[in-house]
């Protein structure tokens, strides 16, 4: 079926033209972890996912997934969707309403010969926390429960690639909060690469390792999450949501003040007390709007998260009153959104040493 190669990772090259839209991408993606396809509505995220699944056949197309060639138009190779080893999770779970949860899951398993199954029923059930739902019918499930069952069913096809098309878009905030920890478990415990479509910066920040930024059918950036979010030359950097994602380790708990200390390359921050044990790794997000700058370490201030940093670059922001400053805090990139007046008063220049004052740290999870 496939012309195997020795290359790992996902190589995807597609050109697809419609009357009012064209997709033209050339991607080199990691063969493990979560890659987020991020962009505004109409940017081409779902179209790209459908090309990967084989549901759209592009005029120019090449696709290799961890050594398996699924498409190469130059060689007249096109593996049909039902023969691609993919799991596909849509916005709606699309469960069979006449089958119980257990039988929905068993339907997914039947797509794979017993000898080739890499995900077993008990493992999928445990990962998604749905053991107590197995004998229920879909109409007795909440939206979040249905989606967890749908994800489990996709996993039970033992896919080499999991495609997720805005799986939380149809859920309210409470249901999203319910399902996100299970998606994190998939990230941590399964060695299946995931392409995750989203227009939610918080979902991307919490789940992704790698990000592709799409705009009008073009990939205007792709790369490791931390570095890509910190770039100043991308539209995401100029929005009010601009910021960076940092992964830290719990270094201590202050029971007197109900705070937890997180350490990371570049320093430490204090956050509201967390239940996790010492050494546990957590992601957190620092928005550019929540970072102020000072030439000396502030004394007598209510801001306790202070990091020594060096200015790397400065550009105009999306309003004439503001600029964005990229900082290097001991190897960790930060962004600060400050007024042009403040930048002039502080005489901000590349290479300058100063202090970053972080007003708010947003924990992810």
Q: Are residues 75 and 202 located together in one domain of the fold?
A: yes
Q: What percentage of the chain carries pLDDT values higher than 70?
A: 98
Tell me: do 86 and 204 sit in the same domain: yes
Round to the nearest angstrom and report the end-to-end CA distance of the chain: 41
Report whether pLDDT(344) > 90. Answer: yes
**pLDDT tens, 80-124?**
999 999 999 988 888 999 999 999 999 888 877 777 778 889 989
pLDDT digits (tens, 9 = 90+) for 179-207: 888 898 888 888 899 999 998 888 899 99
User: What DSSP designation does 51 have?
Assistant: H
The number of domains in the chain is 2
- Looking at the fold, whether 213 and 302 belong to one and the same domain comes out as no
Looking at residue 116, what is its pLDDT? 76
- Domain boundary pick from 187, 202, 231: 231
Q: Is residue 211 part of a domain?
A: yes
What does 205-233 look like in DSSP terms, one character per residue? Answer: HHH-SEEEEEETTEEEEEEEHHHHHT-SS
Asked if residue 14 belongs to a domain, the reply is: yes
Tokens of 90: 């849509």
The pLDDT of 114-143, averaged and rounded, is 89
pLDDT at site 187: 85
Indicate if 198 and 346 belong to the same structural domain.
no
166: domain CATH number? Answer: 3.40.50.300
| pLDDT beyond 90 at 320 | yes
Q: Which of 211, 231, 251 is the last residue of a domain?
A: 231
Mean pLDDT of the 276-297 span: 94
Q: Are residues 254 and 222 in the same domain?
A: no
* 118, 217: one domain: yes
Per-residue pLDDT band at 4 (split at 50, 70, 90): very low
Does 248 lie in the same domain as 181?
Answer: no
**Phi (first) and psi of residue 348, to 5 degrees:** -65, 125
5 falls within a domain: no
In this structure, what CATH number is given to the domain that contains residue 335?
2.40.50.100
Range of the domain at 352: 243-364
Render the burial of 117-147: b for 16+ CB within 10 Å, e for the rest: ebbebeebbebbbbeebeeebbeebebbbbb
pTM for this entry = 0.89
Q: Is the pLDDT of residue 5 over 80?
A: no
d(CA 161, CA 52): 10
Task: Tell me: do 309 and 189 sit in the same domain.
Answer: no
Tokens of 121: 């029923």
What pLDDT shows up at residue 7?
Answer: 64
The average pLDDT across 155-170 equals 91
What is the number of other CB atoms lying within 10 angstroms of the CB of residue 331? 8
Residue finishing a domain among 207, 231, 255? 231
Q: What is the mean pLDDT of the chain?
A: 91
What per-residue confidence (pLDDT) applies to 1?
A: 42
Residues 173 and 295 in one domain: no
Judgement on whether residues 179 and 123 belong to the same structural domain of the protein: yes
Would you state the pLDDT for residue 3? Answer: 44
- For residue 6, the model assigns a pLDDT of 44
**What's the mean pLDDT in 342-356?**
97
Residue 337 in this model has a pLDDT that exceeds 90: yes
Determine the Cα angle at 61 with ends 59 and 66, to 5°: 165
Residue 200 lies in a domain: yes
Domain match, 223 and 169 both: yes
Same domain, 220 and 297: no
Average pLDDT over residues 320-339: 96
Question: Does residue 20 sit within a domain?
Answer: yes
Residue 1 lies in a domain: no
pLDDT tens readout for residues 213-270: 999 999 999 999 999 999 999 877 778 889 999 999 999 999 999 999 999 999 999 9
Considering the domain boundaries, does residue 135 fall inside one? yes
């Amino acid at each position: 079926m496939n012309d195997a190669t020795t290359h790992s990772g996902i190589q995807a090259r597609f050109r697809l033209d419609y009357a009012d839209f064209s997709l033209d991408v050339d991607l080199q993606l990691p063969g493990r972890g979560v890659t987020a396809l991020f962009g505004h509505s109409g940017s081409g995220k779902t179209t790209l996912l459908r090309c990967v699944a084989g549901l759209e056949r592009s005029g120019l197309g090449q696709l290799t997934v961890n050594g398996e060639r699924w498409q190469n138009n130059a060689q007249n190779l096109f593996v049909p969707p039902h023969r691609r080893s993919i799991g596909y999770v849509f916005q709606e779970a699309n469960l069979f309403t006449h089958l119980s949860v257990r039988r929905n899951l068993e339907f997914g398993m039947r797509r794979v010969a017993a000898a080739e199954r890499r995900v077993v029923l008990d493992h999928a059930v445990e990962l998604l926390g749905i053991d107590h739902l197995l004998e229920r019918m879909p109409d007795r499930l909440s939206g979040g429960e249905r989606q967890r069952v749908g994800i489990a069913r996709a996993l039970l096809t033992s896919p080499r690639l999991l495609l997720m098309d805005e799986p939380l878009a149809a859920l309210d905030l409470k249901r999203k909060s319910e399902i996100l920890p299970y998606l994190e478990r998939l990230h941590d415990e399964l060695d299946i690469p995931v392409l995750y479509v989203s227009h939610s910066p918080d979902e991307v920040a919490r789940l992704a390792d790698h990000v592709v930024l799409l705009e009008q059918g073009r990939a205007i950036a792709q790369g490791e999450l931390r570095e890509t979010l910190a770039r100043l030359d991308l539209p995401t950097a100029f929005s009010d949501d601009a910021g960076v994602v940092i992964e830290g380790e719990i270094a201590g708990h202050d029971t007197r003040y109900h705070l937890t200390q997180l350490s990371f390359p570049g320093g430490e921050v204090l956050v509201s007390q967390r239940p996790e044990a010492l050494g546990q790794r957590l992601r957190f997000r620092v928005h550019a709007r929540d970072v102020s700058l000072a030439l000396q370490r502030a004394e007598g201030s209510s801001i306790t998260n202070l990091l020594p940093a060096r200015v790397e670059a400065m550009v105009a922001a999306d309003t004439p009153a503001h600029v964005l400053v990229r900082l290097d805090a001991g190897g960790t990139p930060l962004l600060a959104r400050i007024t042009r007046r403040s930048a002039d008063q502080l005489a901000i220049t590349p290479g300058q040493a100063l202090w970053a004052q972080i007003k708010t740290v947003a924990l992810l999870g």
